[in-house]
């Protein structure tokens, strides 16, 4: 096993023809010089390369921008590692494209005396598992990452058990339930042999039973722990206040807990996390007061918040809620203006330090996008107050200047304001552009129809005009879908539906199947269901199309009743499969490691191959158009 892992590690971190670095076995604190020639999807691109390093420095993960210079067709630079650095990964980008080195990445371990140092393999595991997809363009790295975890375990077994065992067990459970369950049981047995006379052992046992989702065993050992190690009375801690805050039944009770906390002088002078917790609680109470319409208390609590961008976010959120309700619009105007002003300042003069996991370019984009979002809110509030001319510059900056017409919701705000201020000739072409680009909502479509009728005298020919505009967007969507299509055999499964009948993969041979993984606690899942119901209704008489809603990752005791009640209460006509032991979700995660959250949809063709994966909920129009296009492609 050790030999295989060594060969694997050598293969992954082997210097490529297009990439070299010195020293060959870097130690923490070394300066690493590198040379890179664009390859993969960057090959032949003459644009300047953006380069960065994602480093694991002890427990800290961070991204550092690098300066690279072009010499004889190669890009050269250097990186100063920290004395705590365990592993690094180089990133090379041009625009939005990143070179992932044939899905291996450009990852470097750190050494001492020609031996990989402790925690280096674990650091590579974390880079691959948690950062590879988002930052390095790496796909399906779970199995590879787990091999590094095994390598760390084999090289440094004692410290591994103390530091990383819970993570190891969680990771193994996620990819191989049988193997993971066996490993967890082995650790529990080991703790039994060690003895239950230590509180830390009982805490570990409880956490391991939590991994196995065995609540009765958890409760049993939690009771033993409380009996053997009763909590000693004393001054309340931050966690005591946190517990009281979470269990408080209403806003008045929560505010009382916060007031007790803020008046606890002894805790304030001793607890290192006091200020952080204070800034965690105050925003929640402020927003709750705003939601309740208690503006006086809202403004009292908002003054306790010190972080300016947290303030901006809360002011914007409250202003938007007021806008949607059509109430307290003068207050909404004041709050939206504050949020917009703060966000604008934050672009040129950031209030906070750069986040660890952002390049400078990404950080600027994030700040600019926040401003665009807040400017959109401000414009919408001004519109509702009838201040159309004042609203237009903010709406245009958000939708056109910053987002180039790529965000449908912002386009909608701009369109409704522009209609009140500009002549038809000045903004009609922009509306048409939104439609052509697939970034138009119902409001924009209605505006175009109104302009068409006003210009032509009737709606005769409007449908053909709209179809012509939408054709370009449809073709673009189909191209994007085809570019992202895969061809992987769907994992086998056998689950019961809400009628108690067994349903398996073989039942759907010759059909296009949409698997929608969801849970009753998942907000975005529930938000997507009205759209999914429209699709189910649309295709209910098509025998070649089947929608399956896989209820998974539930935490309630009676999962079937929980799902059934939800479906009945909302009058959905869904075919629901009960993944009570999360077996189907685990099987799909093993095959598609980027499946890490819900809602996630998998679209399977008539041959049993998964051809597309859709994550999250992007709104009704996008969902319906995307599903329609996929079904049409696979028919």
The predicted-structure confidence for 36-55, as pLDDT tens digits, reads as follows 999 988 988 889 999 999 99
Examine the pLDDT at 299 and tell me if it is beyond 50.
yes
* Per-residue CA distances from 23 to 52, 108, 540, 598 (Å): 18, 11, 63, 43
Examine the pLDDT at 598 and tell me if it is beyond 60.
yes
CA distance 116 to 27: 9
Give Cβ neighbours of residue 131 (< 8 Å, ≥ 6 apart): 54, 61, 89, 357
Q: Domain locations in the chain?
A: 2-163, 170-228, 239-474, 488-634
CATH code of 239-474, in short, is 1.25.40
Pull the structure tokens for residue 180.
Answer: 């993971």
What's the pLDDT score for residue 539? 95
Q: Can you tell me which residue has the tokens 């250097």? A: 78
Q: Write out 558-620 in H/E/C secondary structure.
A: CHHHHHHHHHHHCCCCCCEEECCCCHHHHHHHHHCCCCCCCCEEEEECCCCEEEEEEECCCCH
Q: Write out 212-271 in H/E/C secondary structure.
A: CCCHHHHHHHHHHHHHHCCCCCCCCCHHHHHHHHHHCCCHHHHHHHHHHHHCCHHHHHHC
CA distance 565 to 559: 10
CA distance 524 to 532: 12
More confident of the two residues 45 and 90:
90
CA distance 94 to 623: 30
The alpha carbon of residue 262 and the mean position of all alpha carbons in its chain are separated, in whole angstroms, by: 33
- Mean pLDDT value of segment 228-253: 88
Sign of CA dihedral 540, 543, 545, 551: positive
Percentage of the chain lying above the pLDDT 70 cut: 97
What's the pLDDT score for residue 1? 36
What's the pLDDT score for residue 8? 41
pLDDT in tens, 314-360: 999 999 999 999 989 999 999 999 999 999 999 999 999 999 999 99
CA distance 342 to 338: 6
- pLDDT category, 467, cuts 50, 70, 90? confident
Q: Are 15 and 21 in contact (CB under 8 A)?
A: yes
What is the 8-class DSSP label of residue 118? T
Examine the pLDDT at 4 and tell me if it is beyond 50.
no
Spatial CA neighbour of 148 closest among 182, 106, 107, 90: 107
* Per-residue CA distances from 68 to 15, 35, 75, 278 (Å): 18, 9, 6, 43
Examine the pLDDT at 472 and tell me if it is beyond 80.
no
* Per-residue CA distances from 22 to 34, 77, 121, 131, 184 (Å): 7, 11, 20, 24, 41
Report the mean per-residue pLDDT for the chain.
Answer: 90
Percentage of the chain lying above the pLDDT 90 cut: 68
CATH code of 488-634, in short, is 3.40.30.10
Pull the structure tokens for residue 119.
Answer: 């925690």
What is the 8-class DSSP label of residue 141? -
- pLDDT category, 16, cuts 50, 70, 90? low
What's the pLDDT score for residue 538? 95
More confident of the two residues 12 and 202:
202
- Mean pLDDT value of segment 272-289: 90
What's the pLDDT score for residue 532? 95
CA distance 379 to 625: 29
What's the pLDDT score for residue 177? 82
What's the CATH fold of domain 2-163?
Immunoglobulin-like (2.60.40)
């Amino acid at each position: 096993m050790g030999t295989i892992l060594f060969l694997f590690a050598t293969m992954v971190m082997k210097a490529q023809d297009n990439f070299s670095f010195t020293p060959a076995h870097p130690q923490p604190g070394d300066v690493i010089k590198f040379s890179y020639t664009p390859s993969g999807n960057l090959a032949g691109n003459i644009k300047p390369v953006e380069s960065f390093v994602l480093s694991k420095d002890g427990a800290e993960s961070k991204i550092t921008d690098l300066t690279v210079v072009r010499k004889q067709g190669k890009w050269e630079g250097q990186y100063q590692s920290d004395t705590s650095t365990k592993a690094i990964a180089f990133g090379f980008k041009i625009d939005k494209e990143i070179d992932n080195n044939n899905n291996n990445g450009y990852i470097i371990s750190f050494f001492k005396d020609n031996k990989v140092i402790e925690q280096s393999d674990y650091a590579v595991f974390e880079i691959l598992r948690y950062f590879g997809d988002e930052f390095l363009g790496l796909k399906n790295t779970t199995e590879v990452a787990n091999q590094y975890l095994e390598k760390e375990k084999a090289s440094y077994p004692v410290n591994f058990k103390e530091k990383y065992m819970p993570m190891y067990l969680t990771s193994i459970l996620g990819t191989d339930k049988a193997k993971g369950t066996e490993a967890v049981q082995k650790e529990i047995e080991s703790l039994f042999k060690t003895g239950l006379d230590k509180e830390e052992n009982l805490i570990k046992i409880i956490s391991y039973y939590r991994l196995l989702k065995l609540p009765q065993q958890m409760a049993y050992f939690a009771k033993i722990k409380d009996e053997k190690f009763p909590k000693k009375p004393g001054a309340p801690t931050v966690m005591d206040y946190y517990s009281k805050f979470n269990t408080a039944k209403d806003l008045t009770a929560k505010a009382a807990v916060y007031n007790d906390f803020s008046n606890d002088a002894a805790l304030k002078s001793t607890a290192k996390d006091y200020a952080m917790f204070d800034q965690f609680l105050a925003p929640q109470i402020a927003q709750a007061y705003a939601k309740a319409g208690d503006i006086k208390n809202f403004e009292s609590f908002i003054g306790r918040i010190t972080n300016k961008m947290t303030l901006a976010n809360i002011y914007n959120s409250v202003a938007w809620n007021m806008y949607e309700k059509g109430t307290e619009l003068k207050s909404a105007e004041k709050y939206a203006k504050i949020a917009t002003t703060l966000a604008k300042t934050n672009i040129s003069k950031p209030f906070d330090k750069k986040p660890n996991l952002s390049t400078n370019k990404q950080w600027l984009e994030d700040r600019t996008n926040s401003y665009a979002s807040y400017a959109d809110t401000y414009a919408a509030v001004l519109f509702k107050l009838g201040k159309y001319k004042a609203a237009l510059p903010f709406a245009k900056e958000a939708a056109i200047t910053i987002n180039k017409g790529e965000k449908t919701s912002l386009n909608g705000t701009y369109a409704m304001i522009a209609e009140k201020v500009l002549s038809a000739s000045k903004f009609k072409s922009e509306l048409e552009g939104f439609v052509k680009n697939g970034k138009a909502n119902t409001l924009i479509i209605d505006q175009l129809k109104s302009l068409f009728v006003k210009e032509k005298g009737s709606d005769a020919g409007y449908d053909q005009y709209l179809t012509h505009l939408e054709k370009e967007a449809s073709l673009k969507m189909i191209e994007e879908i085809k570019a992202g299509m895969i061809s992987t055999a769907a994992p086998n499964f056998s689950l019961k539906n809400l009628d108690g009948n067994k349903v398996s993969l073989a039942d759907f041979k010759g059909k296009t199947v949409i698997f929608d993984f969801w849970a009753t606690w998942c907000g975005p899942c529930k938000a997507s269901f009205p759209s999914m119901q429209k699709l189910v209704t649309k295709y209910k008489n098509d025998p070649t199309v089947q929608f399956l809603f896989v209820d998974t990752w539930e935490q309630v005791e009676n999962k079937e009743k929980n799902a059934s009640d939800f479906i009945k209460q909302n009058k959905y006509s869904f075919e629901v499969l009960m993944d009570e032991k999360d077996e189907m979700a685990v099987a799909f995660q093993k095959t598609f490691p980027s499946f890490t959250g819900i809602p996630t949809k998998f679209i399977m063709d008539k041959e049993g191959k998964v051809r597309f994966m859709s994550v999250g909920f992007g709104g009704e129009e996008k969902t319906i158009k995307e599903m329609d296009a996929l079904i049409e492609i696979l028919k």
